[in-house]
């Protein structure tokens, strides 16, 4: 059996994620969207919790190729303080699920027990009947703290 076959990624909705981040000071939120998304759409604001969202592109703009250094860069950002759990968020929950799986696999290969969680609904959520995001579900639609540059 390969390491990847034994991995399981949990999912939480944005409110459950916020509460987990509030209750667990060692938990971390990682936004895997692209730089333009962070700049023009906004990012989760965790200042009320005394911390910041880690911003790390899983798929790099503009060609959307997978960032081959994603997991290594993320572990380097943690330094020696590996989180108890990592919540991965993207626009709607697809890219973040892939990123969570990749990090869980690298963690397992390094002998680390790390809970990787996908934020279902993502930052902007699903498309509404008018094909717009941000009103049906997701971090923003649920009224959680966020900022824009």
Q: What is the pLDDT of residues 49-74, one digit of tens each?
A: 999 999 999 999 999 999 999 999 99
CATH number attached to the domain at 10-147: 3.40.250.10
Express each pLDDT in 28-38 by its tens digit. 999 999 999 99
Q: Does residue 3 carry a pLDDT above 50?
A: no
Q: Does residue 114 carry a pLDDT above 70?
A: yes
Q: How many Cα atoms within 13 Å fall on the side-chain side of residue 85?
A: 20
Structural domain spans, the chain: 10-147
Instruction: Check: CB of residue 38 under 8 Å from CB of residue 124.
Output: no
Neighbours of 146 (CB within 10 A): 15
Q: What is the pTM of this model?
A: 0.94
């Amino acid at each position: 059996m390969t390491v990847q076959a034994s991995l399981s990624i949990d999912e939480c909705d944005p409110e459950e994620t916020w509460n987990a981040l509030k209750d667990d000071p060692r938990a971390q939120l990682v936004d895997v969207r692209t730089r333009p998304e962070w700049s023009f759409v906004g990012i989760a604001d965790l200042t009320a919790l005394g911390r910041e969202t880690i911003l790390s592109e899983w798929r790099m703009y503009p060609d959307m190729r997978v960032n081959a250094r994603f997991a290594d860069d993320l572990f380097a950002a943690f330094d020696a303080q590996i989180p108890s759990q990592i919540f991965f968020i993207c626009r709607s929950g697809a890219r973040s699920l892939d990123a969570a799986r990749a990090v869980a696999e690298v963690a397992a290969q390094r002998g680390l027990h790390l809970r990787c969680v996908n934020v279902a609904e993502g930052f902007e959520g699903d498309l509404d009947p008018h094909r717009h995001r941000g009103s049906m579900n997701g971090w923003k639609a649920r009224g959680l703290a966020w900022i824009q540059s």
